[in-house]
């Protein structure tokens, strides 16, 4: 039997509607319009597309949005001064520095991201937000893994007591995913390039999350029949062809539910960013 296909657009639409309703409630009850500032340094074409999408998404949902374009030659101090100004700007509830940064400042990425006030850190990368996630306190959570968790919940897929296996231990996907699933009482294993006999581990998973960055890495023999398979990977294998980390065609005949690529997790990320901007505005009202 073929797996249930978890269509990203269906879940993304639900998250956007939720963010739009909450943004409207903030305006009506407190006269506050949630606001996002995205800083883009340099002219990376892919980054420009991502930033435009974020701006359009804000406009569609009634979220104030500013795009700050800084030249390729921007210094670390200039970027930090901009972040400081946005930290102090009451119209702005969320600040995002689009990555990757140009080469001359890329080495200062941590220092730059840590300059964002944790309450405005809508990417959820600040160590304070990481610490809040690990200790189970409310904070801002990275958009992609947060979207995966919310999708599982909305799809009615059980998490409590289930075995979850994540392939990939990055700070932006794998590790936050571990803590989100653990917070929902899954028994979680995280795998990486040093994991021995990976297929034996992944076959234990009721929920398998692939965040590796290798095309068709997860094959059908690595998946337990009936498992839910979440494919976070985005791999460009030809100018116009994107594939995930999961061999979708083969795995869909084994899994119980699966996300496609494209059309899966990728669509959740911007929707969850909107949700994070609204959450940031709500949290700042409580300060």
Contacting positions for ligand NDP (CB under 6 A): 144, 167-170, 172-174, 191-195, 198, 211-214, 232-235, 265-266, 269
**Cβ at position 273, least distance to ligand NDP in Å:** 10
Q: Is 77 a catalytic residue?
A: no
Q: Given the residues 121, 123, 231, 247, select the one marked as catalytic.
A: 123
Instruction: Please list the alpha-helical segments (H only) found in the chain.
Output: 8-30, 45-61, 76-87, 103-106, 109-114, 127-134, 143-154, 174-183, 198-202, 248-251, 266-286
**Cβ at position 193, least distance to ligand NDP in Å:** 3
Token pair 């009482």 is found at: 185
CA dihedral for 198, 230, 276, 282, sign (positive or negative): negative
Distance CA 30, CA 213 (A): 43
- DSSP label at residue 204: T
**Cβ at position 184, least distance to ligand NDP in Å:** 20
Whether residue 170 is annotated as binding a ligand: the answer is: yes
8 Å CB contact between 129 and 113? no
Q: Is 104 a catalytic residue?
A: no
Cβ closest to ligand NDP, residue 37 vs residue 265:
265
Nearest residue to ligand NDP on Cβ basis: 170
Neighbours of 64 (CB within 10 A): 18
Whether residue 234 is annotated as binding a ligand: the answer is: yes
- DSSP label at residue 216: T
**Cβ at position 261, least distance to ligand NDP in Å:** 8
Q: Is 137 a catalytic residue?
A: no
Distance CA 95, CA 37 (A): 5
Cβ closest to ligand NDP, residue 75 vs residue 110:
110
Whether residue 52 is annotated as binding a ligand: the answer is: no
Distance CA 161, CA 133 (A): 20
Cβ closest to ligand NDP, residue 74 vs residue 144:
144
- DSSP label at residue 107: T
Cβ closest to ligand NDP, residue 95 vs residue 212:
212
Binding residues: 168-170, 234
Which residue numbers are catalytic? Answer: 54, 98, 123
Binding residues for NADP(+), as ranges, are 168-170, 234
């Amino acid at each position: 039997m073929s797996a249930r296909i978890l269509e990203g657009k269906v879940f993304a639409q639900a998250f956007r509607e939720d963010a739009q309703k909450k943004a409207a409630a903030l305006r009506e009850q407190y006269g506050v319009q949630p606001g996002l500032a995205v800083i883009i340094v340099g002219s990376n074409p892919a980054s420009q597309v991502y930033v435009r999408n974020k701006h359009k998404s804000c406009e569609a949902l009634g979220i104030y949005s500013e795009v700050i374009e800084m030249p390729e030659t921007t210094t670390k101090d200039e970027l930090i001064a901009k972040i400081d100004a946005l930290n102090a700007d009451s119209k702005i509830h969320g600040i995002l520095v689009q990555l990757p940064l140009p080469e001359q400042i890329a080495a200062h990425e941590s220092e730059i991201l840590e300059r964002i006030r944790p309450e405005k850190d809508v990417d959820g990368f600040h160590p304070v937000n990481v610490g809040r996630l690990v200790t189970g306190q409310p904070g801002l959570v990275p958009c992609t893994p947060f979207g995966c968790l919310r999708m599982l919940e909305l799809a009615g897929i059980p998490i409590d007591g289930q075995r979850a296996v994540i392939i990939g231990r990055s700070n932006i996907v794998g590790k936050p995913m571990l803590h989100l699933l653990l917070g929902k009482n899954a028994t979680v294993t995280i795998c990486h390039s040093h994991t021995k006999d990976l297929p034996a581990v992944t076959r234990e998973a009721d929920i398998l999350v692939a965040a590796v960055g290798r095309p068709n890495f997860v094959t059908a023999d690595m998946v337990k029949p009936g498992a839910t398979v979440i494919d976070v990977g985005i791999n460009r294998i030809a100018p116009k062809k994107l594939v995930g980390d999961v061999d979708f065609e083969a795995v869909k005949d084994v899994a119980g539910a699966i996300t496609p690529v494209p059309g899966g997790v990728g669509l959740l990320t911007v929707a969850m960013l909107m949700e994070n901007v609204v959450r940031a505005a709500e949290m700042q009202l409580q300060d």
